Amino acid sequence: MDIQDLDRLLPERILGKAIPHGTEFFIPYPEVLEAIDIATKNSIAVLGVEVFQVESDGFRVQEYSHYEIPYGDDWASFVSMNNELARAFVEEHRRGEEHAYILTSTSKQEFEHLR
């Protein structure tokens, strides 16, 4: 199984609204929720979320998630718990048009390789 990169799984309807910057995609609301759903369906854990204000000269960090789920050798549960918290964070920190989100994510292979 190849290492799955969430950005490669996102459909054009999301990527077309996202702002690429280096290797990151700043995803607007509500598309960020769909991106989390896609991660969940593909067994990719969203380890964190950052909210940025989009400005003419770049991006300014507004908030970031603080959750941390310990991995206990059950990848499905790890993905489920992380992604539920990611979704809850986005819902609680919903921002308008001048904001976007970065999802820090990992596949099981990537995660095990880093461990």
> Is the pTM here over 0.85, yes or no?
yes
Residue 70's pLDDT is 94
List, for residues 63-113, the tens digit of each pLDDT value: 999 999 999 999 999 999 999 999 999 999 999 889 999 999 999 999 988
Residues 6+ apart with CB under 8 A from 107: 3, 4, 5, 42, 43, 44, 45
| pLDDT top residue among 56 and 2 | 56
Pairwise CA distance, residues 106 & 39, whole Å: 9
